[in-house]
Structure formats: structure tokens, C-alpha cells
Structure 1
């Protein structure tokens, strides 16, 4: 579901999130803020000049020609402006509400730029296999720093798919699902400033960017600090365990 009010009621967000496994919050950032972060994202990637391409091996069957992708883990450790977004109450209050908790803890972040004309897709998958947790109180927020229509390879989701729990994934380049078919997922076109929240059990992916403009997003993965991981993964992520809202009542180590 798409929430269109300027500042939606958190209880309504939580209800829709529970039913569908995701919610698209319109205009969480202003257009000006989104443009500012878009420029900082591209400047940061240009300055660091990383050459690695995280395109999944399984993505090759989704495009007619080889595709490309730029990314950066933990942008907040390279530019303090991103750290501000991590603790912005506009984000953290929604994250807490949809998880049904008071406390929100950072797991990791990723900056993604899909280049124009051949920006890499992501096959349908759950995030659960990458960092499984005991009670599944783990979520993601995708900040859109520019418009993401279907032709830019916007995110697609399968509504209600989180209710089936963890699914078996094929490991080919990275985890992906053989079912459902990609076209069965519902596109979630977004505008600059919109933020898509979803559970790590929600089946999702994204298409190829065939437009003449880049698609720029920042992914924040977060969790309830009272939900312990079942496997120690992503322990190299900078800042994992940082409290974004509230406190950590467990006293555990960060990872």
C-alpha cells in the first residue's frame, strides 16, 4: 500500500505493514533533501572510485546484455550527512512503528546507483538468508534520492509474502528464488523523497534500469536489538549495533 498523507499515522502504517509486508511512505524527505543526497551519493562514489561491481550472477538471465551496478557499504562512515539520516525521527519513528517496538538498531547500510541504460536488476529474494534472526524483527528502508519509475528498475514486491516465513533460495552468485516469477511481483514506482519499508521476509527484487538516467537509492537494514541473530554474518559492517532509536536492553555485543 502507498501512504500519501504528509505525516501518516504510525498505527495505520503498522497495520498495512503487517498485512502486506511493506509500505511506501510518500515524501518522507523533501524533493530538495532528496536532490541534495543524490548529489552527495554520486560525489562520494566518484571520490572513492571503487571498481567492484556487485551485480548478482543470477541477474544475467534478466537482461539482454551485461548490466552494471555501483554500490558502497556504510556510506555514513565516509560522509556525516548520511549519519544524520540514520537517526532522523522521520525514519526511525516509522521503523519502530512497523516493527512494533520502541528500539531500533542498525544492521548495515548500502548505497546503490543503477547506471542509465543498463543498470543491474536484482532477482526476487528475501533478505532473511543473508542475516537470519530469531524472531524475524528485521526490516529495510530504501530511500529514493531520485525518481524510480518502472523503466528505471524500481523495486518490486510480492504483497503478503512475508507471512509464509523463510523460503528456500537458490545460491547462484547470490541467493534468489525460482518462484514466483519476476513478473508476478508488484512494481513500486517511487518519487524522489519516498521511502519503501519492508520486512526481511518480504519477497522483493528490482528490474533493469533501461532509462537514460541513473537510479539512486540508499538501503538501511535495521532490527529490534532484542532479536538475536541465529548466524553471525555481516559482522564486518561498520557501525553494526549502533542504536538509531531508544536503547539496547540486552547488553549484548553489537554483532
Structure 2
């Protein structure tokens, strides 16, 4: 765990291989697609993503998946996950911010331009992180996550609001970032200050992930933005602030 934390602090991310078993991950993949099949279909693709892709693309998603399937409520308090989340935050206490299912459909799955998460929900302390659970394999051709190692050390960068709160496309090309190819069961942890994005899924299979955004409960939201139904739930430990979220 020490090496993992040191890598995270230096680079702003760490990929934990095999946090879930492969068959377990594929089971969650089925659960993701079942949840999406029960919801009204919406496409959250950013306008800037369509510009980046150079044509029409598609993305499927679901906020707060734990309210639609108990499987996700169980997974987000699993010690295999919360112990790593606590370690990278440097605290015994881990609090939920929000969750999202993201599915990039085959052949036309939408990309995400390079961005930080911090401008979407700034906090008083930067002890805020994310974990992307990979429920199927995510090679580069499936539009895997790409990161800029060490970019979390630069603080919050100015973003372009139009088209999805992204960094300037010409200054932050997706191709310049490091691709984080993953296998089913791998989990990518990264700081909300780490610059990241993802490419188009041009493969013949959809890419299925689940995002859990988490924080130290002593990192208070600065603005009343990005509310979620589950925000403030303790995933590990206690909330010493006793703040009403």
C-alpha cells in the first residue's frame, strides 16, 4: 500500500490491478447494462466531445446507481475499495460525493476532452478523489482514460465553460496524455485536480465503467453545486464535522 500511495502522490493517479475478480467485474457489467435498460435513455455527451471526435458519438450514463441497484450500494462500502480510497486521501474517513455509470457504446462511444473534476465541484481542501471501476477490458481502442501525470500539482486550471467545462483543446490535446489501459476488475484512482480525459471507443464492444467520487469529510464544498442524492454518506469511518450535507 505504501508504494501505491507514493505513486499516487507523485503522479496524481494510480491503477490498482485486479481489485475485483474478473468474473465479479463482468457481473457488475451486466448490472450496469440492466440499470441503463430500465432508465429513460439520455446522452450526456459534451459539445466539445463532438468537436474532438469530428462527428456524432454516443454516451450512456446513470447518476447515483446505488439507488437503482443494491449491488452498487454494496460495492461502494467494500473495504477493498474504501481502504485504498482512505490511503490515497491520507485519512481514515471516506465520504461519498456521487457515483455515475458510464457506457461508451461500440464503434461510436463519446470521448471526454482533457479536464479536471475540481471546477465542477470545488472544495475547501483538495482531499477529493475519484475511482473508475472497469467492468470490462479498456484498451486504447475502446477509449480508455488518459491522464497527465503530475498535473495535480498545478492546482485548479482555467477551464472553458462552453461545451462541458474542459481545457482548451489545442493546448491540452488528448493524444499528449498517457493512456491507462485497464482490464476488467482494475480500478483507477485519481485526484480531482489531475488532468484527464478519454478517447473515442472505436472497437466492436462497449466500454463499461462505474465512477465513484469520494472525499475526506473535512473537505467542505465551496459552492452549492453538483448535488446528488447520496452525497455525504460515509463509506468508511466517521464524519468528525457532523456537517449536514
TM bucket normalised to smaller = over 0.9
Question: Distance between the aligned counterparts of 1:165 and 1:97, measured in 2?
Answer: 21
1:171: Cα distance to partner? 1.1
Question: Distance between the aligned counterparts of 1:88 and 1:126, measured in 2?
Answer: 26
1:130-209 correspondence to structure 2 within 5 Å: 130-178=120-168, 179-209=171-201
Question: Distance between the aligned counterparts of 1:34 and 1:56, measured in 2?
Answer: 27
1:229: Cα distance to partner? 1.2
Question: Distance between the aligned counterparts of 1:218 and 1:238, measured in 2?
Answer: 16
1:96: Cα distance to partner? 0.3
List runs of 5+ in structure 2 lacking aligned partners. none
Question: Distance between the aligned counterparts of 1:232 and 1:18, measured in 2?
Answer: 28
- Other-structure match for 1:5: none
1:23 and 2:14 aligned: yes
- TM-score, normalisation: structure 1: 0.94
- Other-structure match for 2:29: 38
Q: 1:244 aligns with which of 235, 242, 245?
A: 235
Question: Distance between the aligned counterparts of 2:177 and 2:46, measured in 1?
Answer: 19
1:65: Cα distance to partner? 2.1
What secondary structure does 1:175 align onto?
coil
What secondary structure does 2:74 align onto?
helix
List runs of 5+ in structure 1 lacking aligned partners. 1-9
1:181: Cα distance to partner? 1.7
1:232: Cα distance to partner? 1.3
- TM-score, normalisation: structure 2: 0.98
Question: Distance between the aligned counterparts of 2:53 and 2:219, measured in 1?
Answer: 38
- Structure 1 segments of 4 or more deviating over 6 A? none
Moved more, 11-20 or 199-208: 11-20
* Aligned-residue CA RMSD (Å): 0.7
1:43: Cα distance to partner? 1.0
User: How many pairs were matched up?
Assistant: 243
What secondary structure does 2:48 align onto?
helix
What secondary structure does 1:71 align onto?
strand
Q: 2:87 aligns with which of 97, 105, 113?
A: 97
- Other-structure match for 1:113: 103
Question: Distance between the aligned counterparts of 2:11 and 2:47, measured in 1?
Answer: 29
What's the CA shift string for 1:2-34, capped at 9, x where partnerless? xxxxxxxx2211111000000000000000110
Q: 1:53 aligns with which of 43, 58, 72?
A: 43
1:234: Cα distance to partner? 1.8
Question: Distance between the aligned counterparts of 1:35 and 1:25, measured in 2?
Answer: 17
Moved more, 137-146 or 168-177: 168-177
